[in-house]
Structure 1
Amino acid sequence: MTAEHQGKVALITGASRGIGRTLALDLASQGATVVVNYRTNAALADEVVAEAKARGGDGIAVGADVENPEEIVRLFDAVADTYGRLDFFINNAAAAAFKRILDLKTHHLDRSYAMNVRPFVLGAQEAVKLMDKGGRIVAVSSYGSLRGFATYAALGSYKAAVESFIRYMAVEFADYGINVNGVNGGLIDSDSLEYFYSIPGMAAMESVLKAIPLGRPGTVQDMANAIEFLLSDKSAYITGQTIVVDGGLTVAAPPYWHDTTEPLGVPPRPTRG
């Protein structure tokens, strides 16, 4: 790995597992210091920090429930007290109720907002205060912000709000030298995906996988790669954008090519001669 992020300080919410963990270790491998936020599993977070140090980086684990505004402030206080500044803020933690719209109660809506929109906005406010030399803010979104599907209304709608905030932040924070972008994931092979498709009555995951042009679910590494690109110098002129990482899922539509028969269907790849 390179040392592209040598000396950078990155705060990643929900970094004890999944996308956050993978990103934290990738950044550490490139010399970054990672602040590994977790809600309850301190042991997992400590493992991430230990591996980050083994890879040549550094870091600390900070327990904070981002659903609680006071704990968000405490999380950034820990960054300020330990490092005095921040280069990257990655809003990754998420949670919501997966229910039909007619079954959503007030507390479902309130918690979905408190876990997805509010931490991003409050976290960005705190991050800006520590980015005295500019920086990068990246939010993790999902394809439910672009398409409607079963039980995802609460999370998908709030992720759409996050993507709107990305655009507004990009314009407002540009004078501070801060780029703000998002990464929108499709079907990403993770614990969250397994949980979603285990909901009683949910369609089989295989039926959705058939609609992905690249023919497979994404990986947490696919997502981490896109986020790392937005943190790198290669993306210096990109702000206010949300990159979709979904294997083509959101651009495919019925009738799908895999459902066609002769004389249609995608032929073998042509060759010269």
Structure 2
Amino acid sequence: MSNGEVGGNGPARERITLITGASRGIGRALALALARQGGTVVVNYKRNTDLAEKTVAEIGEAGGRGFAVRADVETADGLSELFDEVARRCGRLDHFVSNAAASAFKNIMDIGPHHLDRSYAMNLRPFVLGAQQAVKLMDDGGRIVALSSYGSVRAYPTYAMLGGMKAAIEAWVRYMAVEFAPYGVNVNAVNGGLIDSDSLQFFYNVEGMPPMQGVLDRIPARRPGTIQEVADTIMFLLSEGAGYITGQTVVVDGGLSVVAPPFFADVGEALALPPRPTRGD
């Protein structure tokens, strides 16, 4: 079975999930969703021990089990220490979710070598090396999911560095999906649009950035997404129902990536979309 469960009529094996950057945001929401299904969650974090321990406590309250591992996945040694601890405490792994991310927001001409090195070390390298380590612990198949963003396929101010890394991640997902398929391991990505999170608020507070509302008006859904909606999408990709999905990037953006100018939000009254029709119309 590809999701770490016993076949036939035997009981389901408890699923063990490692999430990088799991003490807040999408990582935390995913951890609690997994806990509600009775799973074990490894909460990786870098600095805030109190926040990580609070997430572990909430995992227990939600019906799961969890433990926190402080490890800086930006370094190869830190990533190895993280997986060594998972191997020591669990002996195996069913899911690896590469969620942690960080980058400076700069125009291309303002990017220095140290910015590029850190963006690679924080965003791409932990996913690739982490996937290698995860496969070694997936003794009965498993799932790998990476977090991406719509900057991987669209260009917008100051996002070239992170968007380029996210595009690379999506390419690696396709290659991993092919090479890991014989091991029963599915690899996918989730590409989020404007998701209401601390990261979104930080990005739109960069000096010179236009108001967020101007973008929200152009999203067909007319609102930002929620971290829970992204977490729910990841949950599906980790489930048995997604057993035949691999090498894909699932977009969660309220339709943002499918619109182009002239935008529906900008048309005149003659072309404005009507209210929802009823059967009597």
Answer yes or no: same fold by TM over 0.5: yes
Instruction: Give TM class, smaller chain.
Output: over 0.9
Deviation of the 1:262 alpha carbon: 2.6
Deviation readout 1:156-189 (Å, 9 max, x if unpaired): 0010000000000000000000000000000010
Mapping of residues 25-40 of structure 1, within 5 Å: 25-40=32-47
Aligned partner of 1:82 in structure 2 is 89
Q: Letter of the 1:79 partner, please give it.
A: V
Give the SS at the match of 2:205. Answer: coil
Deviation of the 1:272 alpha carbon: 1.6
Deviation readout 1:183-207 (Å, 9 max, x if unpaired): 0000010110010001111111111
1:117 to 117, 121, 124: 124
Question: 1:198, 1:263 → 2: CA distance?
Answer: 36
Q: Letter of the 2:179 partner, please give it.
A: E
Aligned partner of 1:43 in structure 2 is 50
Contact 1:97 1:108 in 2 (8 A): yes
2:176 to 151, 161, 169: 169
Question: 1:5, 1:96 → 2: CA distance?
Answer: 39
Say whether 1:230 aligns with 2:237: yes
Deviation readout 1:97-141 (Å, 9 max, x if unpaired): 100000000000110011111000000000000001000000000
Structure 1 residues 249, 136: closer, same or farther in 2, change over 3 A?
same
Say whether 1:101 aligns with 2:108: yes
Which range moves more in the overlay, 17-26 or 250-259? 250-259
Deviation readout 1:24-72 (Å, 9 max, x if unpaired): 0000110110000000001101011111011111011000111000010
1:151 to 136, 155, 158: 158
Give the SS at the match of 1:117. Answer: helix
Mapping of residues 1-273 of structure 1, within 5 Å: 7-273=14-280
Give the structure, 1 or 2, with the largest relative contact order (CA under 8 Å, sep 6 or more).
Answer: 2
Question: 2:131, 2:243 → 1: CA distance?
Answer: 19
Q: TM-score, normalised by structure 1?
A: 0.97
Aligned partner of 2:4 in structure 1 is none
Give the SS at the match of 2:68. Answer: strand
Q: TM-score, normalised by structure 2?
A: 0.95
Contact 1:6 1:30 in 2 (8 A): no
Structure 1 residues 43, 204: closer, same or farther in 2, change over 3 A?
same
Percent of residue pairs bearing the same amino acid type: 64
Deviation of the 1:6 alpha carbon: 6.2
Q: Letter of the 1:101 partner, please give it.
A: I
> Which runs of 5 or more residues in structure 1 are unaligned?
none
> Which runs of 5 or more residues in structure 2 are unaligned?
1-10
Deviation readout 1:202-259 (Å, 9 max, x if unpaired): 1111111111100000110010000000000111100000100000001011111111
Contact 1:5 1:30 in 2 (8 A): no
Contact 1:189 1:220 in 2 (8 A): yes
Q: What is the total number of aligned residue pairs between the two structures?
A: 270
Runs of 4+ off more than 6 Å: none
